[in-house]
Amino acid sequence: MAHAAAVNRPPERGLDVYTQKVGMWVFLCSEVMFFAGLIGSYIVLRFGALENTWPEPAEVLAVNITAFNTFLLICSSVTMVKAFAAAQAHDDQGIKKWLLATTLIGAGFLGVQVYEYNELINHHFTPSNCVVVRNGVEETCSILYGSTFYTMTGFHGFHVLLGVICLGWATIRAYRGHWSGGNSRGIEILGLYWHFVDLVWIILFTIVYLI
């Protein structure tokens, strides 16, 4: 590597990916560890609990409603992909339409989650209280069930909320023409985040609601 006398050398090649995207990837690694901490604790606590104190999900949670919510979130990932494709294709109308759709569906997810929390709390299922009805009799269950449930889904919801805020902002910018002319990077990065949040939800839905 000597005698490199070239004068105008290009910058050292990094990952051949633009900086903002690398940044988002790196940030998502950190997010993975955050949710790994929460989910890992859930697993340890659940398997450390004595038999019959940890209720079956369906005994406490309305799985059907949440399944619908999961479907919503997956749809929003699809619309997010459409928004990015539109941005790349210089399709200004498409950008507006799909970003708006993604924002609204994301907000819809949050709405359903708020409704779900409200219902659960009305049935005395809170972070510090757990009640199941078995054969018409109310029984207490491990309060860790509520502790972990609200912490995990709550932090996911918080991430959705942040996403919806950013999406709303991106939508407003779309109506101002910010993303026209192939300026798709911002949408791509937001998309990465949004898909991540979606993926986390699929994992959470599986381990909290299904298993």
Partner 1 sequence: MATAIAEPTGRAVIEEAHPQSFLRKYLFSTDHKVIAAQFLFYTLFFLMIGGLLAVLMRQQIAWPTEPLTLGGILPETMVAKATDGAYMLPEFYNALVTMHGSVMVFLAIMPMLVGVWANFLIPLQLGAHDMAFPRLNMLSFWTMVPAGILTLASFFVVGGAAGAGWTLYAPLSARPDLTGVEMGQILWLIALVFVGLSSILGSVNYITTVINMRAPGMTWFRMPLTVWALFITAILGLLAMPVLSAAGIMLIFDQTIGTSFFIPSNAAGDALSGQPLLWQHLFWFFGHPEVYILILPAMGFTSEILAVGSRKPVFGYKAMVWALISIAFLGFIVWGHHMFQSGMNPALGLAFTVSTLFIAVPSAIKTFNWMGTMWRGNLQLHSAMLFAVGFVAMFAIGGLSGVFMASTPVDIYIHDTYFIVAHIHYVLFGGSLFALFGAIYFWFPKMFGRMMNETLGKIHFWLTLVLFNVVFFPMHGVGMAGMMRRIYDWTGYQHLEGIGATNQIITIAAVGLFASGFLFAFNFFWSIWKGEKAPDNPWGASTLEWSVPSPPKHGNWSEIPVVYHGPHEYSHPDVTDKDWLGQNERPDVVTPAAGSH
Of 91, 116, 139, 188, which lies in the binding site for partner 1, with binding defined by CB under 8 A?
Answer: 188
Give 127 or 168: the residue with its C-beta nearer to partner 1. 127
Contacts of 207 (CB under 8 A, 6+ apart): 39, 42, 43
Site string for partner 1, 120-159 (x = CB under 8 A): ------xxxx----------x-xxx-xxx-xx---x----
- How far, in Å, CA of 159 to CA of 121, rounded? 21
Residue whose tokens read 């991540």? 196
Instruction: Decide if residue 7 touches partner 1 (CB under 8 A).
Output: yes
Site string for partner 1, 48-77 (x = CB under 8 A): xxxxxx------------------------
Instruction: Decide if residue 37 touches partner 1 (CB under 8 A).
Output: yes
User: Within 10 Å of residue 94's Cβ, how many Cβ atoms?
Assistant: 18
Candidates 43-51, 69-77, 96-104, 170-178; binding stretch for partner 1 (CB under 8 A): 43-51
- How far, in Å, CA of 79 to CA of 164, rounded? 13
Sign of CA pseudo-dihedral 124, 125, 128, 130:
positive
Contacts of 76 (CB under 8 A, 6+ apart): 101, 102, 105, 106, 109, 194, 198
- Give the interface with partner 1 as residue ranges (CB under 8 A): 1-7, 9-20, 22-23, 26-27, 29-31, 33-38, 40-41, 44-45, 48-53, 88, 126-129, 140, 142-144, 146-148, 150-151, 155, 184, 188
